[in-house]
Amino acid sequence: MAERGIIGKSLPRLEDPPLVTGRGRFAADINFPHQLHMRIVRSAMAHARIVSIDAEAARALPGVVAVWTAADIPDASPVDFREGPNEKLAPYRQHVLAREAVRYVGDPVAAVFAESAYVAEDAADLVAVEYEELPVVLAADAPPGEFSPGRSTEATLVRQDYGDIDAAFAAAHLVVELDLSVGRHTGVPMETRGAIGRYDAARDVLELHGAAKVPHKNRDSLGRMLGRDVTGIHLYESHVGGGFGVRGELYPEDILVLMAAMRLGRPVKWIEDRREHLMATNHSRQQRHRIRAAVDAEGRLLAIDNEFFHDQGAYIRTHGTRVADSTCGLLPGPYRLPVYRARGHFRLTNKTPAATYRSPSRYETNFVRERVMDEIGRRLGLSPVDVRRRNFLAKEEMPFARPLAALGENVVYDSGDYALLLDKALAAFRWDEVQADMARRRAAGEMVGAALAVFVEKSGLGPTDGARVIVDTTGAVEVVTGGASVGQGFETVVAQVCAETLGVDYDRIRVTHGRTDRIEYGLGAHASRATVMTANATAAAAARVRAKALDVAAEMMQAPIEALDIVAGRVVRTDIESGPSVALGEIARNLAPSAKLRNGREPGLSSDGWFDTEHQTYPYGVQMAVVKVDPETGGVAVERMLVGYDIGRAINPMLVHGQIAGGFAQGLGGALYEEFRYSETGDPLSVTFADYLIPTASEVPEVEILLTEDAPSPCNPLGIKGAGESGIAAVGAVIASAVDEAIGIPGAITELPITPQRLKRILAGIRRPLAAE
């Protein structure tokens, strides 16, 4: 096969034309005749016993078809864990409508079904709930309380370790101890959640429209929860207005629209509003780490001992303890670490439930670990560069297995040359010049600082993905995948891989995704896996279609297969210039079930392809920033930002750049702006976009991007690694470090986000501001 140069090229996206012309089809754009609109009545209390619910006035409102409380759906299953039953954690799951008690402001208490969204909201206002207040637990680092009689709010203690921790600390030249906190924030896609349930009684098929991220896994979960055959449930992904980890998990509302569609006999549409979104959709990130590091006299890590408190919020949702587990498994990052112990207190609080958000556990642990590295460097008089270089795993140590687990598999770094990327990034950033410039500006009275942070990401979680490539009789190509698109450019990437392998134009390829009725299996799009897994499966399927096409063409053209190639959708002879050619559509016609030329071959110019992998891939990166602090207001401005990232191999560099730039903006939000705050009674204070501060064009500088391909993954034939989480991963870490530098107080930043109010307190010499309040 000739190198066609399609992979690796920044081609325009196939997704864009409908999206720029207003022809996209997002969840709210989907309508069915006779549909009902659902509105959720949510708890106004953070923790209370439900004394009574009076829905009579709501039921009496014209246009209201039904109002449900938990009593109306006694058979409803709580929202299940994606990876299947877990006896220990099961009592902490969320019911689709609260039963005896509510546990956070926003907890669904009742569901109204009405002829319009307006009337449904009017009716929801009329549902009167009487509560008896219960004590609230709002801090995961406070002593645990009682979740239910005899059941602690510490659902479990997650732990991972290796080596003799006491011996390592006893032998240490220096022990560094830090107390670090990451604030509560989350993905907040521009499209809120949406779900439309529809029951086709004629075929006995239940449909969920507005699905995202993991349609196939959700189909399986829904089958378990609803007691239905999975062939009788279909999920349909529409356009998805941003995923970021939170969208596409199963939530109570998804189950409610399906149950209602069946019982009420009409399609049921639910579109989350923004206020609901900020109190109902998964939060993330909130952790406090008490970390100790033992180092030798040269600044080499001997051991890390970390105890952390994970604020899970009110219930354990679909992910179970995944974020806390990977917090243990992935904290060590790019460094050699002989001894390690991590213990995480996984605790329930009376706040919105938490789960994954883009770069889950890495955003948090990169902040924690890189804070530790800065402190070690400072205590031993090593530069930030030297202390890191000294501890890097070497290229020669790859693949490197650490006796830890993350996302259900052992941690094995597949490839990497961390020192090389750091050197390249230092050069690209002009680090030495920047340092000199900082010194000059500081001498002139400015509070400016530059810093760096290093990280290892993970991507391409396996184990297996499949794709089907179909060439129709007109020569058009369809790739049917079990992947999902959250707006990242999935269709374009898959089309590029198929085009390169098969030999067709990429814009003649239709990529289907997120539909359980088209393909039986699918991994969806999470953990930056779509490109790695689905692209490799597509390559495998396309290669088989190619072989089949050439086989038939050889017969049609009376030529040896070796002399044939496929170019722009036609099979041509490579040994004769301007010789005869055959279009793929014609070959497809000759493979029709009744075609004479088929000669016993499997009908159709199509094939499935599968890709299996034992391990995920571990891309890695460096982030560097220059910040300026206004000491009078406490404001922080980011003047420069660089992300250096080794992607193994980029299929479409433009899209990788886009992922990095967008991730950075979100990371900046978590570092400086975004925070879910609560009152002392558990009232959420960040439920509008005037209070939850997403950075705008004025706050986000353009990111300088250094994309390298020095360490292709040996785990897959294309050598690719994922890119989705690289831009965000270490932003908290690098901004914190740069602010330290700017204000000249090493280790000052112990808490994210760095708000002006907190920074002013630090500048006034008050440490650990607000955290104790």
Partner 1 sequence: MKPAPFKYHRPTTLDEALAILAEVAEEDGRILAGGQTLVPMMALRLAYPPHLVDINAIPELARTRVEDGRLAIGALVRHADLQAPLGCPPLDGLLAEVASHIAHYPIRTRGTFCGSLANADPASEWCLVAATLGAEFVIRSADGTRSVGVEDYFQGVMATAIGPGEMLVEARLPLLPADSLWGFYEFSRRAGDFALGMALATLRLEGGVVGEARIGVGGAEEHPRRIAEAEAALVGRAPDEAAFRAAAAKAAAVIDPLEDHATDGTYRRELVETVVRRALSAAMAHRQARPRTEIEARS
Partner 2 sequence: MNEKVDLTLTVNGQRHAIRVEPRKTLVDAIRDDCGQTGTHAGCEHGVCGACTILLDGEPVRSCLMFAIQCEGRDIRTVEGLANGNELHPLQQSFIDHHALQCGFCTPGFLMLAAGVLRKRPDIGDEELIDLLSSNLCRCTGYANIIKAVKAVRDGLAQA
Binding site for partner 1 (CB under 8 A): 117-118, 121-122, 125, 273-275, 632-635, 673, 677, 679, 685, 688, 690, 693, 695-699, 755-757, 760-761, 764
Q: Which of 8, 9, 29, 424 is in the footprint of partner 2 by CB under 8 A?
A: 29
- Residue 724 binding partner per list partner 2, partner 1, none, with a CB distance cut-off of 5 to 8 Å that depends on partner kind: none
Near partner 2 by CB under 8 A, which window of 237-245, 257-265, 389-397, 533-541?
Answer: 237-245
User: Does residue number 34 form part of the binding site for partner 2 (CB under 8 A)?
Assistant: no
Reading the block at residue 565, the tokens are: 């190639």
φ, ψ for residue 230 (rounded to 5)?
-70, -20
Helices 362-380, 322-330: crossing angle, 10 deg rounding:
30
What length does the chain have? 773
Q: With respect to partner 1, which residue has the nearer C-beta, 151 or 767?
A: 767
- Residue 245 binding partner per list partner 2, partner 1, none, with a CB distance cut-off of 5 to 8 Å that depends on partner kind: none
User: Does residue number 91 form part of the binding site for partner 2 (CB under 8 A)?
Assistant: no
Reading the block at residue 330, the tokens are: 């992935």
User: Does residue number 685 form part of the binding site for partner 2 (CB under 8 A)?
Assistant: no
Q: How far is the CB of 623 from partner 1 (least distance, A)?
A: 22
Q: How far is the CB of 764 from partner 2 (least distance, A)?
A: 30
* SS3 state at 677: coil
Residue type for position 357:
Y
Tokens 């809120």, residue?
Answer: 192
- Residue 756 binding partner per list partner 1, partner 2, none, with a CB distance cut-off of 5 to 8 Å that depends on partner kind: partner 1
Q: How far is the CB of 675 from partner 1 (least distance, A)?
A: 8
* SS3 state at 308: strand
For residue 482, CA distances in Å to 174, 206, 615, 627, 682 come to 51, 19, 19, 43, 40
- Of 414-443, binders to partner 2 (CB under 8 A) are none
Angle of CA points 564, 570, 575, to nearest 5°: 30
Q: With respect to partner 1, which residue has the nearer C-beta, 134 or 693?
A: 693
Q: Which of 3, 5, 20, 765 is in the footprint of partner 2 by CB under 8 A?
A: 20
Per-residue contact track with partner 2, 456 to 495, x per CB under 8 A? ------------------------------xxxx------
- Of 623-682, binders to partner 2 (CB under 8 A) are 654-655, 657-658, 661-666
Q: Could you give the CA distance from residue 401 to residue 48 in angstroms, rounded to a whole number?
A: 47
Q: How far is the CB of 627 from partner 2 (least distance, A)?
A: 17
Q: How far is the CB of 542 from partner 1 (least distance, A)?
A: 46
Residue type for position 512:
T
Q: Could you give the CA distance from residue 277 to residue 443 in angstroms, rounded to a whole number?
A: 47
Near partner 2 by CB under 8 A, which window of 154-162, 494-502, 540-548, 683-691?
Answer: 683-691
Count of residues interacting with partner 2 (CB under 8 A): 56
CB atoms within 10 A of CB 25: 12
Q: With respect to partner 1, which residue has the nearer C-beta, 275 or 601?
A: 275
For residue 662, CA distances in Å to 301, 358, 401, 467, 726 come to 33, 11, 31, 28, 10
Q: Could you give the CA distance from residue 575 to residue 490 in angstroms, rounded to a whole number?
A: 36
Q: How far is the CB of 698 from partner 1 (least distance, A)?
A: 4
Q: Could you give the CA distance from residue 101 to residue 133 in angstroms, rounded to a whole number?
A: 10
Closest C-alpha among 144, 108, 139 to residue 351? 139
User: Does residue number 507 form part of the binding site for partner 2 (CB under 8 A)?
Assistant: no
Q: How far is the CB of 632 from partner 1 (least distance, A)?
A: 4
Q: With respect to partner 1, which residue has the nearer C-beta, 23 or 274?
A: 274
User: Does residue number 697 form part of the binding site for partner 2 (CB under 8 A)?
Assistant: yes
φ, ψ for residue 308 (rounded to 5)?
-130, 160
Reading the block at residue 706, the tokens are: 């250094």
Q: Could you give the CA distance from residue 616 to residue 298 in angstroms, rounded to a whole number?
A: 33
- Residue 444 binding partner per list partner 1, partner 2, none, with a CB distance cut-off of 5 to 8 Å that depends on partner kind: none
User: Does residue number 26 form part of the binding site for partner 2 (CB under 8 A)?
Assistant: yes
User: Does residue number 39 form part of the binding site for partner 2 (CB under 8 A)?
Assistant: no
The DSSP output letter for 580 is -
Residue type for position 371:
R
CB atoms within 10 A of CB 671: 33
Q: Give every CB contact of residue 349 below 8 A, 6+ residues apart in sequence.
A: 137, 138, 139, 140, 153, 311, 312, 313, 314
Near partner 2 by CB under 8 A, which window of 85-93, 104-112, 582-590, 684-692?
Answer: 684-692
Paired strand residues for 112: 39, 67
Q: With respect to partner 2, which residue has the nearer C-beta, 617 or 666?
A: 666
Q: With respect to partner 1, which residue has the nearer C-beta, 182 or 636?
A: 636
Q: Could you give the CA distance from residue 694 to residue 503 in angstroms, rounded to a whole number?
A: 43
Q: With respect to partner 2, which residue has the nearer C-beta, 20 or 764?
A: 20
Q: Which of 410, 474, 681, 688 is in the footprint of partner 2 by CB under 8 A?
A: 688
Q: Could you give the CA distance from residue 593 to residue 609 in angstroms, rounded to a whole number?
A: 21
Q: Which residues bind partner 2 (CB under 8 A)?
A: 12-13, 15-17, 19-26, 28-29, 118, 187-192, 239-244, 273-275, 486-489, 654-655, 657-658, 661-666, 688-690, 694, 696-698, 700, 702-703, 727
